[in-house]
Chains A and B, each alone.
Chain A
Amino acid sequence: MSDETATIESPTREIDKVVIRLAGDSGDGMQLAGARFTDASALFGNDLATLPNFPAEIRAPAGTLPGVSSFQVQIADFDILTAGDEPDCLVAMNPAALRANIGDLRPGGTLIVNEDAFDERNLAKAGYDSNPLEDGSLQGYRVIRVPMERLTKEAVKDTGVSGRDVLRSKNFFALGLLAWLFHRPEAPVIEWVEKRFADKPEIKEANIRAFRAGFTYGQATEAIKVTYVVPPATLPPGTYTNVTGNTALAWGLIAAAQCAKLPLFYGSYPITPASDILHELSRHKNFGVRTFQAEDEIAAVGAAIGAAFGGSLAVTGTSGPGLALKSEAISLAVMTELPLVVVDVQRAGPSTGMPTKTEQADLLFAMFGRHGEAPLPVLAVASPSDAFGMAIEAARIALRYMTPVLLLSDNYIANGSEPWRLPKVEELPDISVPFASKPNSPDGRFLPYLRDLHTFARPWAVPGTPGLEHRIGGLEKEAVTGNVSYDPANHQLMVDTRAWKIRNIANDIPPVEVEGDEDAELLVLGWGSTLGSIRAAVRRVRSDGEKVATAHLRHLNPFPANLEDLLERYPRVLIPELNTGQLRWLIQAEFLKRCDGLNKVTGQPFRVAEVEEKIREILKEAR
């Protein structure tokens, strides 16, 4: 609530943005309540960005710190870029949720607590010696104590739910209270509950009643004197939806298949945080999508390679540990020059690491994680809605250049959401490539490695085509014929050709665009999910009259052709990344340009303030 100075007489204050965080046990339904609040806000017309944060355990021990799950959303009446650095309003469902999140709440912020959960047992589990609701430690906040469990029980009695199910509706009570406090429309929530629980009438009824009870409690209580409204944002005209990165990526793959006029094949093995792509795609069989939940990561990529040989738009999706397992097979796709999209939704590593936390530490693995000289294009998604277009772009490059393509996303993009101005379907690009249909040699033979003179791609001849029977494989290929070859000069030629084919793609990708001042001292260069934090930080610094520029890379191999000139134009370059400096390493190696890094590996995205501070520090040094 950035506008605390508005008149107190008014029962409703208009504010330009607010950051809300819901926190509770991982079984408390905080993700669900957050998603409903987000959707209601999206339909209301706000700009928004979300940051879910949950433990890897499905049900960590109740009431403990490791079991805390939270969902943060920022809603605004203007174009925002992140889910916000610190919440203005925190809902804490139990002492552990309070303890884990109170440090982030803005001084003077609103704290809504479920006071029923603050008994001795829960306080002890959270490690509190005394009750923070009583001991004065929350004095710096506006604390609203709500007996949520008691009121939820009251609301859902006679609905038929019993036992433990009674209290499961308390997330809807909290949601109802928030809906009242922030003037959210009730209809989208009610409609969603009616649809979602259509076959469980008692639960449907209980959730609706709890939601309404929360809303009514807000109206009746004296504890809350002011409500807030964030007016709709003035976004560019169009039709909008709210979308998560994994959903946008799945839809992008479906769109890519349509744009390529090919059936989509998706081979995958369940892994956090990529599984939702498999779930989403498996629902859309009427698009001709074939999903294959393989026995392991290797089989998933193997099956995709088989489907690529057969003429599908073949995709495999995973996260870091799975990408490691797929490495050998991706090299096979490099050697056989088959089109394949490999999606890596990055998470904090190494090894199992922190599977539900975000990180950008697979970049160098994506670049180099193969044996032999095995270059391939690497692309990165910059935000949840960006995943749609980048899926199409990855498919375009894979098909046009007959190569595997690595598309990087990450946990923050995958589970975060934002409004997406929908593209016009009929304006999506045509990325289709023709299959080879007849022999390409004057003597009537088919030469599987006779390349296109512009793209260096080899022809794609799919089984079932008479006269084009041929064999491909992992052994080195003789140029043109594709026969097995151990000839030294041929190997040199083929390694060079495969490398050149990838480098040449630089001429077929959009130049990287700069936002900000052409004549600035500093360029802030980013990639992936840091887009929002970087842009917001740069805008803040520029609004103070400082000169700074920013550019965001979606193509990481090859780099856009104009990147070198761009780097030369700015004396200082700052590269913020959620790793220990992987893009910086690449840029410095490729362009011999010393860059500054801002690096963080906490499993959390950058706060805007962190990036802002670093930019100011460098500008100060430069003066």
Chain B
Amino acid sequence: MTYTRADFQTDQEVRWCPGCGDYTILASVQTFMAEMGLPKEKIVFISGIGCSSRFPYYMNTYGMHTIHGRAPAIASGLAASRPDLSVWVVTGDGDALSIGGNHLIHALRRNFNIKILLFNNQIYGLTKGQYSPTSELGKRTKSTPFGSIDYPFNPISLALGSEATFVARTVDMDRTHTQQMLEAAYRHRGAAFIEIYQNCNVFNDKAFIQITGKEERLHNRIDLREGEPIVFDGGAKAVVFRDGRCEVVETSSVDPKEILVHDPTREDPTIAFALSRLSHGPFGPTPLGIFRKVIRPTYEEQINRQLLEAQSRFGPGDLDKLIKSHGTWQVSG
């Protein structure tokens, strides 16, 4: 199947604010989908509520724009009953981490073969500017005129704590990196969680400037590459794992052998978690890339196995036998 990006565009007018990072992500996803060549009738986008959740309307695939926070639950039912489909969830920091937190963690631990794209802009956009579960402490918003006192989530730490088998982070502005993460998530068999830093230029502009700014990103963006030592800032800085935690050090100050070599396939999530703790928001050196990528049977595979086993053990379902299975007696006329 050969597609172009246009095959994935719908006739609906895209209605995000001009300059919104969602446009960039939409373009990345459409381009990626065209390149993957998966039949588009096999693809389903499911979203909750929020700016990002308008996404399915703009993807010429199957899609459902559902209710606040529940997209992972709805996707779970679809995936469980239709393992042949490629199911994608589009959600935001309010949708996934506040009202829908429960569904997110359970979808991840069950390891449905669904791909969850969390657009994190650290603000409520659609309701016009309240703080979100990823907003930094002290943030002044419409609902926190004296500053937020809510300690924020670290979405990567949360996903790892939820037993996710694939956890990655990318940023809207870097389309190449976004597409690489999408492809890795797609190729992963199981639940994939991608946090996408997404700029809300109306209510939280430049929240990710430390990662996206031309000057700033040089110093702060840590690219995680499988099999490579983790160094950044033009090689000046490195990440080491000491005393159970990751630390940023001057590369020149350590034995090169001490520099952490990135391996997302480690069964034990300790180091992935430690990497996620390098930053608690995009305010300084922050890793992008795949934190964890391990193989565990998917929910769909297991449910199918149980169905097949039951059929081979008990034969295909016989309704007449079933309703007589508790013992019967005859009444004759």
In angstroms, how far is the closest chain B Cβ from the Cβ of A410? Answer: 22
Within 8 A of B (CB), among A25-76: 39, 42-45
Contact A303 to B65, CB < 8 A, known contacts A463-B44, A469-B40: no
List the A residue with the shortest CB-CB distance to B321: A425
The stretch of A11-19, A87-95, A235-243 in contact with B is A235-243
Complex interface: stretch among A155-163, A293-301, A452-460: A293-301
Known: A39-B327, A329-B67, A469-B62. A306 touches B317 (CB 8 A): no
A466–B38 alpha-carbon span in the complex (Å): 12
Are B46 and A306 interface neighbours, CB within 8 A? yes
Across the interface, do B65 and A472 meet the contact criterion of CB distance under 8 Å?
A: yes
Interface status of B128 (Cβ within 8 A of chain A): no
Binary flags per residue of A463-487, CB closer than 8 Å to B gives 1, else 0 = 1111111111111000000011000
Given contacts A288-B307, A306-B78, contact A471 B65 (CB under 8 A): yes
Question: Do A254 and B85 form a contact, CB below 8 Å, given A299-B70, A483-B12?
Answer: no
Do B330 and A240 touch across chains, with their CB atoms under 8 A apart?
A: yes
Closest Cβ–Cβ distance, residue A444 to chain B (whole Å): 13
Q: Is A499 an interface residue (CB 8 A)?
A: no
Give Cα A2 to B228, complex, Å. 88
Given contacts A329-B67, A332-B66, A475-B65, contact A304 B77 (CB under 8 A): yes
Q: Does B210 contact A (CB under 8 A)?
A: no
A471–B56 CB distance below 8 A: yes
Contact with A along B76-93 (1 / 0, CB 8 A): 111111101100000000
State whether the Cβ of B253 lies closer than 8 Å to any Cβ in chain A: no
Residues of B within 8 A of A267 (CB): 77
Residues in chain A near residue B227, CB distance under 8 A:
none
Q: Which residues of B contact A332 (CB under 8 A)?
A: 66-67
Residue from B314, B329, B330 having most chain A Cβ neighbours under 10 A: B329
Name the distance in Å between B211's Cβ and chain A's nearest Cβ: 32
CA distance A551 to B326 in the complex (A): 31
A533 CB to nearest B CB, Å: 24
In the bound complex, CA of A440 to CA of B324 (Å)? 44
Complex Cα spacing A464 to B87, Å: 11
Please name the residue on chain B nearest to A336 by beta carbon.
B64
Asked whether A255 lies within 8 Å of B319 as measured between CB atoms, the reply is yes
B310 at the interface (CB under 8 A from A): yes
Contact string against B for A residues 347-378, beta-carbon threshold 8 Å, 1 for contact and 0 otherwise: 00000000000000000000000000000000
Chain B residues with Cβ below 8 Å from A466 are 39, 41
Cross-interface CB contact of B65 among A286, A329, A422, A473, cutoff 8 Å: A473
In the complex, the answer to whether A310 meets B81 with C-beta atoms within 8 Å is yes
Contact in complex: B322, A302 (CB < 8 Å): no
Complex interface bits, A319-339 against B, C-beta within 8 A gives 1, otherwise 0: 000000000110010001000
Report if B303 contacts A (CB, 8 A). Answer: yes
Mask: chain A, 267-301; 1 = CB below 8 Å from B; 0 = not:
10000000000000000111111101011101100
Residues of B within 8 A of A439 (CB): none
For B306, list chain A residues within 8 Å (CB).
285
In the complex, residue of chain B having the shortest beta-carbon distance to the beta carbon of A303: B77
Output the residue of A305, A306, A467 with the most chain B CB within 10 A. Answer: A306
Contact of A295 among B10, B106, B314, B330 (CB under 8 A): B106
Confirm or deny: B279 has a beta carbon within 8 angstroms of a beta carbon on chain A. Answer: no
Residues in chain A near residue B303, CB distance under 8 A: 290
Cβ of B64: which chain A residues have Cβ within 8 Å of it? 306, 309, 336, 471-473
Interfacial chain B residues near A299, Cβ < 8 Å:
70, 73, 76, 102-103, 106
User: Which residues of chain A have C-beta atoms less than 8 A from B80's C-beta?
Assistant: 265, 290, 292, 303, 306-307
In angstroms, Cα B308 to Cα A288, docked, is 9
CB distance B327 to A464 under 8 Å?
no
A263 to chain B, nearest CB (A): 7
Structural contact, B323 and A306, CB atoms closer than 8 A:
no
Contact check, A42 vs B317: say whether CB atoms are below 8 A apart: no
Minimum C-beta distance from A425 to chain B (A): 4
CA distance A339 to B287 in the complex (A): 45
Contact of A463 among B62, B76, B313 (CB under 8 A): B62
A328–B106 contact, CB under 8 A? no
B67 and A469 form a contact (CB under 8 A): no
Q: Judge whether A412 is part of the interface by a CB distance below 8 angstroms.
A: no
* B229 contacts A by Cβ under 8 Å: no
Q: How far is the CB of B16 from chain A (nearest CB, A)?
A: 14
Contact of A306 among B39, B67, B81, B311 (CB under 8 A): B81
- CB nearest neighbor in A for B322: A251
Determine whether the beta carbon of A239 is less than 8 Å from that of B10. Answer: no
**A254-B322, A425-B320, A466-B41 given; A285·B77 CB < 8 A:** no
Given A292-B77, A302-B74, A302-B103, also A286-B314 (CB < 8 A):
yes
Q: Which residues of B contact A303 (CB under 8 A)?
A: 73-74, 76-77, 80
B322: chain A residues at CB < 8 Å are 251, 254, 284, 287
The 5 closest A-B pairs by CB, nearest first: A473-B65, A303-B77, A287-B317, A306-B77, A302-B73
Q: A242-B326, A254-B322, A310-B81 are in contact. List 5 more A-B contacts (CB 8 A).
A: A237-B332, A285-B306, A289-B317, A292-B77, A306-B76
Would you mind naming 12 contact pairs between A and B with Cβ atoms under 8 Å apart?
A: A237-B332, A294-B106, A304-B77, A305-B77, A306-B78, A306-B80, A309-B74, A328-B67, A425-B323, A471-B56, A471-B64, A474-B65
**Which positions in B face A, CB cutoff 8 Å?**
10, 12, 39-44, 46, 49, 56-57, 59-67, 70, 73-82, 84-85, 102-103, 106, 303, 306-307, 309-311, 313-317, 319-320, 322-324, 326-333
Q: Which residues of A contact B (CB under 8 A)?
A: 39, 42-45, 188, 232-243, 247, 251, 254-255, 258, 263, 265, 267, 284-290, 292, 294-296, 298-299, 302-307, 309-312, 314, 328-329, 332, 336, 388, 421-423, 425, 463-475, 483-484
